[in-house]
Structure 1
């Protein structure tokens, strides 16, 4: 008689599992035979669904406009040449250009414009933009003339056209970043001194990964305050103005 052989499946932990306490990245997932554990596979599929949803999330314009009133500053609303979300994803160039119906006043002049736009994760702006403005604006309001802008279907460079329309010296574009599997609501801030259409990205500074598991609102506010202060002092932004991990430094 043949002897019956039983095959027992079991989970095998990864020896580097302790690293998971340091990062939300998919590391040390363990294995079940030659495959991922079912729990980790389902977690991946869930996060992938959240990421796809983030790309198609919409800017809550009415709510944001209402919240922006609390700062008692001029507020402007703009529209890019993009007509819908699908076109926004397929035509990045149109998200960098304003439509013809510009809501601007040629007599305006601003030191700083904070520009909120959806980017690739509108929920990041819906949830994170106002808390960041609450941190940074009180530190600047007495020294700088500030304006606030809301733009649907915008890319980073849309700030250059808006700055030209409103005669602004400096822009900080708050935008939803490309979502990752562990960060579907990540916000970035791109700062530019002397913005104008046609400049390239080496003229900008970026503060990225602002979300609950990444850079905190408090830390992002301090970095933003640094870039604003040094940009006005040195009359520049971009690769000539940097910050380091060991503290805020210049180059």
Structure 2
């Protein structure tokens, strides 16, 4: 057998030619190398991002803190849960997260019986796969969006907070509360640089059995992604068009155009 000489790597840090592109993306590019390995700093940053993503999935939604923030601008807040009794079952059985528990279903029916109203909009905030995304983004989003709904003179149902929830959980909520338009805010599956990403799912005349083709999605709402103001503008444009056509989903196109110089309004450090 012929022996080959060992490859000798340089010991000093070697920068990557793409270094200047890092300012335009959170993607892990141009990490450099030391010998045949990653430098210590990006290696540790990767481990931290992985831990943050896991924490986002496993973290329980802080219902009390959410309620205290929401009651500052909305009259009623209802709390519901899915059929998944805990996070472990929720992750193993996605179907359980799409259905209301019997107690939550009865709570909504009792509320509707005591307040026999119909609504234009119901806003549901569910933890999904990132409770952090909802805690960080939903209160401020709902405050701004609630004000926009009032300007449109839309009747807004009580805001609903949902735990162990999937997107389809909002369908039955809208059906029971008799709301024409469902806005479902949910924590998206965290990436290694986006553990705080919130998704918005809009459905016209939502009901049990709705499928994904009946929904419109606005994704990556977070400080480092799509801003709250732009997300609300896009959502309102979809909703207005939806009311005109009486539909949502693949038949409803997002044709809203934003000016190139649109600037996001700085988010206050303390919302309320």
Same-fold call, TM cutoff 0.5: yes
1:227 is the counterpart of 2:238:
yes
Length, aligned pairs only: 243
Q: Write the deviation string for residues 35-66 of structure 1: whole angstroms up to 9, x where unpaired.
A: 21121111101111111111101111111122
Deviates more, 1:224-233 or 1:46-55: 224-233
**TM-score (norm: length of structure 2):** 0.85
8 Å CA contact 1:73–1:146 kept in 2: the answer is: no
1:172-183 equivalences in 2 (<5 Å): 172-183=183-194
Q: Deviations over 1:211-245 (max 9, x none)?
A: 12111111111111112211112211111222269
RMSD of aligned residue pairs (Cα, Å):
1.8
TM-score of the pair, normalised by structure 1: 0.92
Q: Spell out the pairing of 1:110-125 with structure 2 (5 A cutoff).
A: 110-125=119-134
Aligned to 1:91: 93
Quote the residue 1:3 is aligned against: none
Gaps of 5+ in 1: 1-5
CA separation of 1:176/1:7 partners in 2, compared to 1, >3 Å: closer, same or farther? closer
Q: Which of residues 140, 144, 161 in structure 1 aligns to 2:154? A: 144
The answer to whether 1:42 aligns with 2:44 is yes
Q: What displacement does 1:141 show? A: 1.3
* Aligned counterparts of 1:84 and 1:7: Cα–Cα separation in 2: 50
Q: Which runs of 5+ in 2 are unaligned?
A: 1-7, 260-272
Matched residues in 1 for 2:27 and 2:204: separation?
Answer: 34
Residues in 1 aligned to 2:42 and 2:188: alpha-carbon distance in whole angstroms: 25
